[in-house]
Chain A
Amino acid sequence: MSVATQPQPCTAPTTQPAELNGAEVLVRALIRQGTDLIFAYPGGCTMPLHQALTYHRDEIRTILPRHEQGGAFAAQGIARTTGQVGVCMGTSGPGATNLVTAIADAKMDSIPLVAITGQVPTTVIGTDAFQETPIIEICRAITKHHYLVTDPKEIPRIVKEAFYIANTGRPGPVLIDVPKNVQLTKFAEEPDLDPPMNLPGYHPEVRKPHPNQIRQILAAIKESKKPIFYIGGGIIQSDAAEEFTKFAKKTNIPVAMTVMGLGAFPGDDPQSLHMLGMHGTVYSNYAINEADLLLAFGVRFDDRVTGKLTEFAKHGKIVHVDIDPSEVNKNKKAHLPVVANIKDVLQGLNALVADEDVPEISAWWKQINEWRDKYPLKYKDAGDFILPQYAIDQLWQMTKERDTYITVGVGQHQMFAAQFYKFNKPRTWLSSSGLGTMGFGLPAAMGVQAQHPNSLVVDIDGDGSILMNVQEFATLKCENLPVKILLLNNQHLGMVMQWEDRFHDGNRAHTYLGPVDHPEAVGQGAGGHYEETYPNFVQIARGFGMEAQQVRSKKEFPKALEAMLNSDQPYLLDVICPYQEHVLPMIPSGHTVKDIIVE
């Protein structure tokens, strides 16, 4: 990672020589691990750490988010785009509990994250002291590992282990809880910042695919008539997109991706069947259903992908490669399970694959292309209204040649983005996919922009999601992070509304985001939008010092979008969209491909 070059607001006066205490040692240990950017919100129990950070501002940039959750998602933004460990920090008590959602999110999506929390002094732990919360107890089930530091001398080892655990094997979040007296303990001598680790039960690096397994996979491919790749986040986490693309090209087997896997294979390549699962394409779901060989690489058979488990891919032989042994045979029994890093497996496959291993599947492709022609991803022409799908399609057209990162919140806009933005490169698409955390998009974008100051970072967001971390507008402005926000504003919680329309006779149950005295609140609206939408996002953004515009007409949209993309400032484009749009296709939860809804 390179230090983000941002104008330092003021030249700080020469800092006093750093006192060698626990906090200083912890900051040095972070730097030693390669951290040059941290999102940290101070409080009573992290003040020593923040003081230490100021002494190292040349080596590590500290960004103040406006909420700890925002800081943790921003750290995820770094981790998801670089594969390096993202680092965030909050104080004890509420500072720590505010990190919880983002930590759980990192666990679900296997994101390497180190979260540091202040803790009350060890002498008062357990006494219900001011701002005391047992954050380790709270986070046990949602971290890969966690540490309560009781001996300052252990800080270098713990930091080293935390980074190692977070970013090896199946990545995940690690929590380090540091009591204030540990931070303040003086060191008599310079500590060794690279001490030996003590992890006798953790051996992530030894799981290599056996050569026989590689041969078995190739044999299964050779025999198959209707093979398909079902690939996910594992390919991206292990930086194996290149190896995968090479192998996929060699074998010409169709590629279906999970929402976490988008970008692992070029989205605009004809060999891509795009996304599968609940809101995946009809043709990818049909193909999975008919396949005689399912090559499940770096995936976990999530319920949003499989629908009804017993019916999923039941005609096919399943090859399942995953680095986490507990994922293999967890939801779906694999005929050929391989516990290994997918990158090693793909390198093995690429080294061994011969021309005669390539299956003869032209009939299969003919069938798939028929499905694709019959059920393409599409949206209708809505006159001068701006459909969310159209807005995303336009964004794709205008940004595909640029170095672009896309983040999203959660809901309809997230699925529309997954469907209509074509991701050609890994690590350019950031979505809270497992936990589904509304409010993810804006702070994640903020982290991406801080890490990649010269790239275009667009948060495609919804009017529900954006409000969940809207305070980060301040961070964008004050830290000079020119994130672009394409706000698809339909005045509703669109995804829940869609389920209400489909499964609850359209009964609106707290899914309208305007005043409750509007008829829309009970589903009795006239179908359009008010002259003044609520809230006034343009005013809000401007109040934070951002640039902002609202656009309602399709004719005016391209120009409005262009203006945003050309701005060098943080910018919000409030796009008013009809609320009648549904994300289609859709396989209702727990159902099968036979129940797919296309209209």
Chain B
Amino acid sequence: MKHVLSAIVMNQPGVLAHISGMLASRAFNIESLAVGETEDPKFSRMTFVVSGDDKTVVQVRKQLEKIITVVKVADYQNQDIVERDLMLLKVSTDNTSRTEVLELVQIFRGKVVDVGHSHVMMEISGTESKLNSFIDLMRPFGILELVRTGRIALSRQSSLSVDQALQPPEPYEYVEETAEVG
């Protein structure tokens, strides 16, 4: 099972190294990790895609929250979220194949960002499965280079803004856990 975790962290040197080191030393399997500044430059948002059973993902989340520079972590499991991956892709083309490639780019609502004599570079964003099917369609033409940002996500309902993350937690925050286990 894949979970998407979103974390607000302090934007300081070493935070990414600390987090990736913790994940590695505890043998957690991370599929992707995307980092960038938030609306407040003092904080960054990290989006993790973690695979593993629920117990593992809960441990990942708790271990992340233990890191002092990590302000708040949200698990987007069972939440209505918008998720996107951005990809740049360079495909080999000649005069006969170019039109077909451009057509497919249009269907996928991608954008051509560079054209050469023998290649086309395009940007395309969307969900992971959309990007994967696009990659499959491009394979026969010859993929020269490919780069992806890793997944980023925001929840439609409960948002995890920096302002919200900075609110101190409720005193009985962990009570729900009791109910869960019963």
Listed in ascending order, the chain A residues whose CB lies under 8 Å from chain B are 136-137, 140-141, 144-145, 148, 165, 199-203, 206-208, 210, 212-213, 216, 324-326, 328-330, 333-340
Q: Contact at B17–A326, with CB atoms within 8 Å?
A: no
B111 interface residue per 8 A CB criterion: no
Q: Contact at B181–A337, with CB atoms within 8 Å?
A: yes
Distance in Å: Cβ of B102 to nearest Cβ of chain A = 47
Q: Contact at B166–A200, with CB atoms within 8 Å?
A: yes
Distance in Å: Cβ of B174 to nearest Cβ of chain A = 4
Q: Contact at A201–B17, with CB atoms within 8 Å?
A: no
Contact residues in A for B181 (Cβ distance below 8 Å): 329, 333-337
Q: Contact at B59–A326, with CB atoms within 8 Å?
A: yes
Q: Contact at B68–A339, with CB atoms within 8 Å?
A: no
B169 interface residue per 8 A CB criterion: yes
Distance in Å: Cβ of B7 to nearest Cβ of chain A = 9
Give Cα A203 to B165, complex, Å: 12
> Which one of A144, A201, A326, A333 contacts B63 once the chains associate, using CB atoms below 8 Å?
A326
Distance in Å: Cβ of A553 to nearest Cβ of chain B = 50
Distance in Å: Cβ of A313 to nearest Cβ of chain B = 16
> Which one of A140, A207, A334 contacts B17 once the chains associate, using CB atoms below 8 Å?
A140
Contact residues in B for A203 (Cβ distance below 8 Å): 168-169
Q: Contact at B59–A330, with CB atoms within 8 Å?
A: yes
Distance in Å: Cβ of B18 to nearest Cβ of chain A = 5
Q: Contact at B175–A213, with CB atoms within 8 Å?
A: yes
Query: Other than the known A145-B68, A326-B62, what 14 A-B pairs have Cβ atoms closer than 8 Å?
Result: A148-B14, A199-B68, A201-B9, A201-B68, A202-B68, A207-B173, A207-B174, A210-B172, A210-B178, A216-B178, A326-B66, A328-B177, A333-B181, A340-B174
Q: Contact at A329–B55, with CB atoms within 8 Å?
A: yes
Distance in Å: Cβ of B171 to nearest Cβ of chain A = 5
Give Cα A324 to B21, complex, Å: 20
Give Cα A137 to B16, complex, Å: 12
Select the stretch in B69-77, B79-87, B125-133, B151-159 that faces chain A. B69-77
Contact pattern, B 136-148, Cβ under 8 Å of A = 1, otherwise 0: 0000000000000
Contact residues in A for B59 (Cβ distance below 8 Å): 326, 330
Which 10 A-B pairs give the minimum distances between C-beta atoms? A201-B71, A326-B62, A339-B174, A145-B68, A210-B175, A210-B172, A206-B171, A200-B71, A141-B25, A325-B62
Interface centre among A140, A203, A333, A337 (most CB of B within 10 A): A140
Q: Contact at B178–A213, with CB atoms within 8 Å?
A: yes
> Which one of A136, A201, A206 contacts B70 once the chains associate, using CB atoms below 8 Å?
A201
Give Cα A213 to B176, complex, Å: 11
Q: Contact at B62–A336, with CB atoms within 8 Å?
A: no
> Which one of B25, B72, B170, B171 contacts A201 once the chains associate, using CB atoms below 8 Å?
B72
List, sorted by A's number, 5 A–B pairs whose CB atoms are closer than 8 Å.
A201-B65, A203-B169, A212-B178, A333-B181, A334-B181
B22 interface residue per 8 A CB criterion: yes
Interface centre among A199, A200, A328 (most CB of B within 10 A): A200
Give Cα A140 to B63, complex, Å: 13
Contact residues in B for A339 (Cβ distance below 8 Å): 174, 177
Give Cα A325 to B25, complex, Å: 19
Q: Contact at B10–A208, with CB atoms within 8 Å?
A: no
Please name the residue on chain A nearest to B179 by beta carbon: A212
Give Cα A330 to B63, complex, Å: 11
B135 interface residue per 8 A CB criterion: no
B58 interface residue per 8 A CB criterion: yes
Distance in Å: Cβ of A143 to nearest Cβ of chain B = 10
Contact residues in B for A212 (Cβ distance below 8 Å): 175, 178
Distance in Å: Cβ of A385 to nearest Cβ of chain B = 46
Listed in ascending order, the chain B residues whose CB lies under 8 Å from chain A are 9-10, 13-14, 17-18, 21-22, 25, 55, 58-59, 62-63, 65-72, 165-166, 168-175, 177-178, 181-182
Q: Contact at A337–B178, with CB atoms within 8 Å?
A: yes
Q: Contact at A140–B21, with CB atoms within 8 Å?
A: yes
> Which one of B18, B66, B182 contacts A324 once the chains associate, using CB atoms below 8 Å?
B66
Q: Contact at A141–B178, with CB atoms within 8 Å?
A: no
> Which one of A136, A165, A202, A329 contacts B58 once the chains associate, using CB atoms below 8 Å?
A329
Distance in Å: Cβ of B81 to nearest Cβ of chain A = 22
Q: Contact at B68–A337, with CB atoms within 8 Å?
A: no
Q: Contact at B21–A141, with CB atoms within 8 Å?
A: yes
Please name the residue on chain A nearest to B9 by beta carbon: A201
Q: Using A201-B10, A216-B178 as known contacts, say yes or no to A144 and B68 having CB atoms under 8 A apart.
A: yes
Q: Contact at A208–B171, with CB atoms within 8 Å?
A: yes
Please name the residue on chain B nearest to A201 by beta carbon: B71
Q: Contact at B178–A206, with CB atoms within 8 Å?
A: no
Contact residues in A for B67 (Cβ distance below 8 Å): 201
Q: Using A206-B168, A208-B172 as known contacts, say yes or no to A338 and B68 having CB atoms under 8 A apart.
A: no
Contact residues in A for B66 (Cβ distance below 8 Å): 324-326
Give Cα A208 to B171, complex, Å: 6
Give Cα A333 to B54, complex, Å: 13
Give Cα A334 to B68, complex, Å: 26
Contact residues in A for B71 (Cβ distance below 8 Å): 200-201
Contact residues in A for B55 (Cβ distance below 8 Å): 329
Give Cα A334 to B170, complex, Å: 22
Give Cα A328 to B58, complex, Å: 10
Q: Contact at A336–B178, with CB atoms within 8 Å?
A: yes
Please name the residue on chain A nearest to B18 by beta carbon: A140
Please name the residue on chain B nearest to A208 by beta carbon: B171
Give Cα A200 to B12, complex, Å: 13
Give Cα A561 to B74, complex, Å: 60
Give Cα A339 to B62, complex, Å: 12
Please name the residue on chain A nearest to B175 by beta carbon: A210
Q: Contact at B174–A136, with CB atoms within 8 Å?
A: no
Please name the residue on chain A nearest to B70 by beta carbon: A201
Distance in Å: Cβ of B14 to nearest Cβ of chain A = 7
> Which one of A145, A148, A206, A329 contacts B173 once the chains associate, using CB atoms below 8 Å?
A206
Contact residues in A for B177 (Cβ distance below 8 Å): 328, 337, 339
Give Cα A145 to B15, complex, Å: 11
Distance in Å: Cβ of A446 to nearest Cβ of chain B = 31
Contact residues in B for A144 (Cβ distance below 8 Å): 68
Distance in Å: Cβ of A329 to nearest Cβ of chain B = 7
Contact residues in B for A329 (Cβ distance below 8 Å): 55, 58, 181
Q: Contact at A338–B178, with CB atoms within 8 Å?
A: yes
Q: Contact at A206–B169, with CB atoms within 8 Å?
A: yes
Interface centre among B13, B65, B68, B168 (most CB of A within 10 A): B68
Please name the residue on chain A nearest to B174 by beta carbon: A339
Give Cα A137 to B25, complex, Å: 13
Distance in Å: Cβ of A317 to nearest Cβ of chain B = 11
Please name the residue on chain A nearest to B21 by beta carbon: A140
Please name the residue on chain B nearest to A144 by beta carbon: B68
Q: Contact at A137–B68, with CB atoms within 8 Å?
A: no
Interface centre among B14, B58, B178 (most CB of A within 10 A): B178
Q: Contact at B174–A325, with CB atoms within 8 Å?
A: yes
Contact residues in A for B9 (Cβ distance below 8 Å): 201
Q: Contact at B65–A325, with CB atoms within 8 Å?
A: yes
Contact residues in B for A337 (Cβ distance below 8 Å): 174, 177-178, 181
